[in-house]
Amino acid sequence: MHKKRWIVLSGFFALVVGGICLFLFDPAEAGFFPVCPFHRLTGLYCSGCGSTRAIHALLHGKFLDALDMNPLMVIALPFILYGLGRQCYWWFFGKKTTARRLRAFWIWIILIVVVTYTILRNIPLYPFTILAP
């Protein structure tokens, strides 16, 4: 089998195992989930901090709890899954990756949103603390 098919299959397997672990265990209590090296080193929140707790909440149908943990992740998740799915489909069936392209402008917008979000959620004042996990 083609090498990339193995990547896709093992990635899918990891996703399912990760999903089951996140469903069964609460990352706020269990200690074995991967920690954020950025948060560990700097004490600051990164753009992804609170993601595992947010996904745990989502898997239990607690949409508002998930938004409370990491709103950007909750909004971005469908797009990430779509992008991953598209990529995996191409890799699995050997299709080209140039079918349709985002204009560069939109990638710069994504970058600005992520950076702004990261800065804002580290401001320890009221309206911004909503963004922190």
- Distance in Å, CB of 102 to another protein, minimum: 6
- Distance in Å, CB of 64 to another protein, minimum: 20
Site map 7..26 versus another protein, x via CB under 8 A: --------------------
What is the amino acid identity at position 91? W
Query: How far apart are the C-alpha atoms of 11 and 14, rounded to whole Å?
Result: 5
* Matching residue, tokens 């998740």: 77
Structure tokens at 1: 């089998």
56 neighbors 27 (Cβ within 8 angstroms): yes
Candidate segments 2-10, 58-66, 76-84, 119-127, binder of another protein by CB under 8 A: 76-84
Please report whether residue 3 would count as binding another protein according to CB under 8 A. Answer: no
Please report whether residue 64 would count as binding another protein according to CB under 8 A. Answer: no
- Distance in Å, CB of 27 to another protein, minimum: 7
Query: How far apart are the C-alpha atoms of 25 and 116, rounded to whole Å?
Result: 31
